[in-house]
Amino acid sequence: MTQFNDMLMRKFIMRKLYRERVLSDATEKDLDSMTKAQIVEYGASIGVTLSMSLTKTIMIQTLKATPEFESEETKRKALDPLLW
């Protein structure tokens, strides 16, 4: 019985780690696939002002460093498992 419980726990942990990796990868891919204008628009929608004079890479890094982005990501990650 203990082996069975251990196996279930390992399976649960592996699934959780997989989901977390997929979700964090999804954010990176989503932002990378956006245009600069879309990134600025997304930033504005969560309360972050970005300048179009920045490079796309700097925009993404700046956006990811804000507490507003972190808050939105936390919400998204909480909802995504419900869709699996």
Q: Where are the domains of the chain?
A: 2-83
Residue 84: what pLDDT?
Answer: 46
Q: Is the pLDDT of residue 28 over 70?
A: no
Q: Is the pLDDT of residue 21 over 60?
A: no
Token pair of 11 as six digits: 């399976």
Per-residue pLDDT of 50-74, as tens digits, reads 999 999 999 999 999 999 999 988 8
Residue 22: what pLDDT?
Answer: 43
- What's the 3-state SS for 13-65? HHHHHHHHHHHHHHHHHHHHHCCHHHHHHHHHHCCCCCCCCCCHHHHHHHHHC
pTM of the model: 0.62
Residue 26: what pLDDT?
Answer: 47
Residue 29: what pLDDT?
Answer: 59
- Average pLDDT (13-42) is 70
